[in-house]
């Protein structure tokens, strides 16, 4: 369900998406504890065309960190979108099939 992570420039202006990019920037610097804090501080994504994509970004960080509460939260948020492509409605990006993310989260929670 996941590809290679993009490089994240911590100095970049991520606008309203900074909260979802920050855990990846911290992970890239080896600052796992701070990344976990940033992940846990994430708000629920806005209910727009990027909702599922931002949930998948949160899931990716949670999978990297093994953060079970975040995994449960993202699973619950993504479940209604089963069978869809995450972010495809935006016409800008996709995180791929939501079903793949749900399966990856289930595997991590069952481990």
Q: What is the mean pLDDT of each run of 10 residues along the chain (111 residues)?
A: 61 90 91 96 96 97 97 98 93 94 98 92
Cβ 83 vs Cβ 98: under 8 Å: yes
Q: What are the sequence ranges of the domains in the chain?
A: 15-110
Entry pTM: 0.90
In this structure, what token pair is assigned to residue 47?
Answer: 């209910």
What is the per-residue pLDDT for 14?
A: 86
CA 66/CA 60 separation, integer angstroms: 10
């Amino acid at each position: 369900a996941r590809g290679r992570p993009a490089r994240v420039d911590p100095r970049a202006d991520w606008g309203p998406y900074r909260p979802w990019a920050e855990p990846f920037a911290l992970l890239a610097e080896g600052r796992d504890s701070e990344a976990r804090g940033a992940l846990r501080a994430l708000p629920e994504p806005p209910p727009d065309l990027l909702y599922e994509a931002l949930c998948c970004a949160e899931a990716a960080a949670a999978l990297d960190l093994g953060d079970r509460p975040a995994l449960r939260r993202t699973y619950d948020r993504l479940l209604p979108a089963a069978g869809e492509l995450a972010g495809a409605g935006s016409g800008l990006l996709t995180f791929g099939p939501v079903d793949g993310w749900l399966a990856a989260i289930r595997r991590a929670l069952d481990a």
